Chain A
Amino acid sequence: MTRLHWLMAAVVLQLGVLATEYLGSVWPLWTGTEIRLEIAPVDPRSLFRGNYARLAYTVASVAPNLFEGPDRKLRKGEVVYVFVEEGEGEVWHATRVQLEQPLSGLFLRGRLTQTWPGTEQPLRVRYGIEAWFAPKAKALEIEAAARRSQGEGARAYAVVAVSGSGRAALARLDLP
């Protein structure tokens, strides 16, 4: 193979990476099950506000008694699988957390962002769907709507598609 051929192979590698990323992104939207997750209010002081709306989910905060796994210290960034179940108002909530990928059932794949070993503080989980990218004005409007909804009783929701492996993709927002 000449250097030109190797360079062509390198271009193919880059295209392959982009294609894999694209397919990984759309796969849950094409094949996944749609669930409604409640959006919790976000900290309005974030320095990065403006480029995207930050979405905090109620399922991102999981009670430590829902964790089923080895009795060891959990670390930040560790992959966890959170089982979800439909509750009142067609809203889904967390029922169980584990470290091993389940073979069946509806669950979300996430990563731990905060753990409080030896306390009753909830585990914080990031699912990779916490940012809704939008122009600055629109992003701020979404965050404001999410905050307003908490006081008025009407709730803000995100409709999320979940693939069989637990990967979630944001389908749309359901704002009051």
Chain B
Amino acid sequence: MKILRFLKRELAAEARSWVDERIVSEEQAGRILDRYGTRLPDGSERSVGYLVLLSLAAVFAGLSILVFVSANWDEIPRNLRMGALVALTLAFHALGLRQQRAANPKIAAVWFLLGCFSYGTSIFLIAQIYHLGEHYPDGIWWWAVGTLPFAILTRSRAITWLMAAVALIWLGTETAETFFPVSWPLFAAAIFWFCLYQKESLLLFLINVAATTFWIEILFARYLGEDHFFAVEEEHIPLTLGLFVLYYALGKWMEGRTDRPRLPEYGMALRLWSLRLGLIVLLVFSFAEAWEEVMGLQYESPGWVWGWLFVVTGVTGFFLHRIWVERGPRAWWDDGLSALAYLLFFALVVLVSLLMNEQNENLAIGLQLFGNFACVGSGIWLILRALRDSVTLYFYTGIGVILILALLRYADLVGDYIGGSLLFLFFAGVLFGSARFWRAHVRKGASS
């Protein structure tokens, strides 16, 4: 699986030019592109482009309506304003239904998109006409709920984006008003359904994962709080770390499911982002102070943290088992080992926080050493994977981890000057070894 999967359209366009220049045959280009889940452009992209432009025009027309009617129509009677808004919404939807009936679903979706814009505008303008404003997130929620069926029924990318954007605004405003957004899973499920079973949208998928993570965090804050207050406590640290581990393991498993469309791409993106976040956490734990903080954590509900540790271990174990069963032991060492290492690091942090009741400087320094070696180990592993699989993203991430770690250690000059000098010598050795390995790898590739 290569990062090239993220650049399918560019790859297809390139392949078309290779065919035109007779570098490869059409059949060969087709076989190459098939590996990445795409095919040669055949002219149908023009209609896609037309629809994209039409949808964008509809979005801007919708925004225009929103801004235009937002100006106060003080001179026009209330009922007339109200009637005009409803009539406009109805008219757009009527045009959409007409196109749908004439078997033009894509054009119909553009009209429905305009109708949904007009519907949202109407909600806020009715509130404006009647000078209402008790709890404005409710209006945003009704907009998202009213758009949801159109997103599901039309499977239109633009309408789904509109629904997702409005639902995200509601998620933020409802939380900001200290209310718990109970119905977010409804919107999240609709967005996941669209991304997994209808159309590919990596960005929408990642946004949905991030928003759902936020929802889980505030759900937990609500559970910890009293009288419906949100309480962000120490327990949120293991919760967040555990979610990263789960996303990484899930991403690893999804990545190998090449029998299912879109799943490998989403899996790769999920794994890459959870890896990046994990590396940031690892860099934080390259400081003794971070370990001392963990030792000083006072959980309100330690039983919950133990439970969460078992859940994360169990679910990650399940994914690792699936990888073993579906891809065999050899692939497991490639795909499963890093997930296991991620899990063990999480378990170490949680166990230190649970078992240590007071700060212990000596142990913190020992764990700091471990954190530093784990960082270096991750950097080397990424560089080696990059060289073996020709994935430049891994290479730069690995180099980046080592350089940031070197910079951090230079700043706090760990082990005084001699210790710092030895550490840098070690980094130099790692990078020198990587360079040698690279050269050998390139030579081997050239000779074969």
Contact = CB atoms under 8 A, between A and B. Distances in A.
Nearest to B123: A21
A70 B37 CA distance: 61
Interface residues of A, number: 42
Interface string B81-107: 010011001100100110011000000
A10 B146 CA distance: 7
Interface string A1-32: 00110111111011101100110011001000
B133 A128 contact: yes
B183 interface: no
Contacts of B119: 14, 17-18
The B contact surface, by secondary structure, is helix
A170 interface: yes
A17 B123 contact: yes
Contact of A6 (B70, B116, B142, B149): B149
B416 interface: no
A52 B70 CA distance: 11
B146 A22 contact: no
Contacts of A22: 82, 126
B142 A25 contact: no
Contacts of A7: 96-97, 100, 112, 149-150, 153-154
Interface in A117-160: 126-135, 138
Given A10-B149, A135-B72, A111 B135 contact: yes
Given A75-B229, A135-B72, 17 more contacts: A4-B100, A6-B153, A7-B100, A10-B146, A10-B149, A10-B150, A13-B146, A14-B93, A14-B116, A18-B86, A21-B126, A21-B142, A25-B127, A29-B130, A128-B133, A128-B135, A130-B133
Interface of B: 70-72, 74, 82, 85-86, 89-90, 93, 96-97, 100-101, 112, 115-116, 119, 122-123, 126-135, 142, 145-146, 149-150, 153-154, 177-179, 227-229
Shortest 5 CB-CB contacts between residues of A and residues of B: A128-B134, A25-B130, A10-B149, A170-B131, A14-B146
Interface of A: 3-4, 6-11, 13-15, 17-18, 21-22, 25-26, 29, 51-52, 72-73, 75-78, 109-111, 126-135, 138, 169-170
17 contacts: A7-B96, A7-B154, A10-B150, A14-B146, A15-B89, A21-B126, A21-B127, A22-B82, A22-B126, A25-B126, A25-B132, A75-B227, A75-B229, A110-B134, A111-B134, A128-B135, A170-B130
